[in-house]
Chain A
Amino acid sequence: GENVEQHPSTLSVQEGDSAVIKCTYSDSASNYFPWYKQELGKRPQLIIDIRSNVGEKKDQRIAVTLNKTAKHFSLHITETQPEDSAVYFCAASKEENNFNKFYFGSGTKLNVKP
């Protein structure tokens, strides 16, 4: 099956700085890569995603890059704010039987210091 690795496990940045979280995956057939933000005890919330036919996607302060050859993708958050503090999960998936089965990374706890 798919194996997703995520680094770093914890990340502490100063407000206004940028944060980068990196993930690698093992299954070259994976073609959809979402990123989720999870606050303590709550459901994961999709914040951005990218499909294998593009190399980069940006949404305001958040961007994701994908390198299919190297099988890695990254989340970039610019101008971080305290409310960005949460656990972030990357995931990789491929369509199986008309749906995507997700495999999650181990998570990164982001702490933005005011």
Chain B
Amino acid sequence: GAVVSQHPSWVICKSGTSVKIECRSLDFQATTMFWYRQFPKQSLMLMATSNEGSKATYEQGVEKDKFLINHASLTLSTLTVTSAHPEDSSFYICSAPNGGWSTFGSGTRLTVV
């Protein structure tokens, strides 16, 4: 079946540094990728939608300059958390629509110290 590969699965970084998270669709083309953030014991909150060849659209309240999204090709979307702070520590997960379904990546647990 359709697979979205997400890397890294976990990362610890120092406050003020940037972290890049990659999501690749392995056997299908993902013209769109959804990026979610999930705080402990909370639901998945949609952050933004990336579209290959155009600018990402961000949900209300999400800082586009802090969460940089690039959809470089039909199989790769990246999320860069810039100048990370401890409050950015969360579980980030991508999801690509595929034939009406939604295939999730495995998630990235980011800890900012």
Contacts and interface: CB of A to CB of B under 8 A. Distances in A.
Binding partners A and B: yes
Interface of A: 1, 6, 32, 34, 41-44, 46, 89, 99-107, 109
Q: Helix, strand, loop or mixed for chain A's interface?
A: strand
A107 B41 CA distance: 8
Contacts of B105: 43
Q: Helix, strand, loop or mixed for chain B's interface?
A: strand
Contacts of A100: 97, 100, 102
Nearest to A2: B46
Contacts of B93: 43-44
B34 interface: yes
A89 B107 contact: no
Contact of B106 (A32, A42, A103): A42
A80 to B, nearest CB: 21
Interface residues of B, number: 23
B44 A44 contact: yes
B104 A101 contact: no
Contacts of A109: 41
A41 B43 contact: no
B1 to A, nearest CB: 11
Given A89-B43, A107-B43, A32 B100 contact: yes
A37 B36 CA distance: 16
B71 interface: no
B44 A89 contact: yes
Nearest to A95: B100
11 contacts: A32-B100, A89-B43, A101-B46, A102-B95, A102-B102, A104-B36, A104-B43, A104-B45, A105-B43, A106-B42, A107-B41
Interface string B5-46: 000000000000000000000000000101010000111111
Given A102-B34, A102-B95, A107-B43, 18 more contacts: A1-B60, A6-B43, A41-B109, A42-B106, A43-B93, A44-B104, A99-B97, A100-B100, A101-B34, A101-B46, A102-B46, A102-B102, A103-B46, A104-B43, A105-B43, A107-B41, A107-B42, A109-B41
